[in-house]
């Protein structure tokens, strides 16, 4: 059953929008997708044109904080490009010859080679962006996170010399799904405090996963583990049909052996199709 709730200003970081009882819809019908995948989580979808917000598990969406995992590559890329640490999306870094694996134990073949920034972003290659973080430096990184208010609802000292290249993976910094949605909304419209063309437009284009005559689907994934060893998954981005963007953030939690790649894809496509996306119905 759908319910309509009042909501204060979502997203402390970006001041995303104000919701009223008439534009927030609780979508309990999405629960079946989480249950069938044996995970818990939340999914929020914001219709930018109509100012309507659809959400499953509202309290988790707006109040609960989780490590961002590789979704932090969005900000890492923005800061790196703005500072000049990343010269452009074709900037390559050599592979250090250390063979790395994905969280599920499979060899990360997409990581274990020389990579450009564009390739590293698409492959979600952790080592590339760890090196970028080290080159950005602790003080600069901390200043940007402070100025953006990123993770400010989680009152834990974030970045140190020791965790500069792991803080988004080791639970030192945590964010809400609400913050994540607000970030990609601001990025889409070029409203973040970075140069629009040389920084924001570059990262915005890197998020695009599918682009055809019916729709554009853009997102960044995240996959890591919380303090209890449970897998935390993210998908944050937007779907655009008829030049009309709809922004979303998905947060998923499951056992350590959860196949997050499969689960996230299933949840995203199932929910979007239920809402009439991806099939030329909008």
166 backbone dihedrals φ, ψ, rounded to 5° = -140, -5
Element (H, E) at 273: helix 260-274
77 closest CA partner among 46, 41, 122, 21:
122
DSSP string, 34-81: HHHTT-EEEEEEEETTTTEEEEESHHHHHH--B--GGGGHHHHHHHHH
60 backbone dihedrals φ, ψ, rounded to 5° = -65, -40
Structure tokens at 63: 């109040």
- Report which DSSP code applies to 107: B
**Which residues are paired to 56 by β-bridges?**
43
Considering 36, 59, 64, 70, which one is annotated as catalytic?
A: 70
Is residue 70 flagged as an active site residue? yes
Point out the residues that are catalytic.
70
């Amino acid at each position: 059953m759908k319910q309509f709730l009042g909501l204060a200003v979502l997203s402390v970081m970006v001041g995303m929008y104000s919701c009223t009882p008439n534009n927030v819809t609780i979508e309990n019908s999405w629960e079946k997708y989480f249950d069938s995948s044996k995970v818990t989580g939340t999914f929020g979808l914001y219709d930018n044109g109509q100012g309507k917000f659809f959400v499953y598990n509202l309290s988790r969406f707006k109040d609960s904080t989780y490590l961002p995992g590789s979704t932090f590559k969005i900000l890492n890329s923005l800061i790196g490009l703005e500072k000049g640490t990343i010269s452009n999306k074709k900037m390559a870094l050599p592979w250090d010859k250390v063979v790395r694996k994905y969280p599920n134990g499979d060899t990360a073949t997409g990581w274990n080679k020389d990579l450009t920034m564009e390739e590293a972003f698409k492959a979600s290659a952790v080592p590339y962006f760890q090196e970028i973080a080290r080159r950005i430096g602790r003080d600069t990184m901390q200043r940007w996170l402070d100025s953006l208010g990123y993770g400010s609802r989680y009152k834990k000292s974030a970045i140190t010399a020791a965790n500069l290249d792991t803080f988004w993976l080791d639970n030192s910094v945590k964010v809400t799904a609400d913050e994540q949605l607000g970030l990609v909304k601001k990025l889409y419209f070029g409203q973040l405090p970075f140069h629009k063309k040389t920084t924001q437009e570059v990262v915005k284009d890197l998020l695009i996963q599918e682009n055809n005559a019916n729709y554009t689907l853009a997102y960044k994934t995240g996959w890591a583990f919380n303090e209890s060893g449970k897998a935390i998954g993210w998908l944050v981005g937007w779907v655009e049909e008829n030049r009309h963007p709809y922004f979303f953030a998905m947060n998923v939690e499951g056992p350590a052996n959860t196949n997050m790649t499969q689960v996230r894809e299933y949840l995203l496509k199932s929910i979007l199709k239920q809402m009439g996306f991806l099939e030329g119905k909008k």
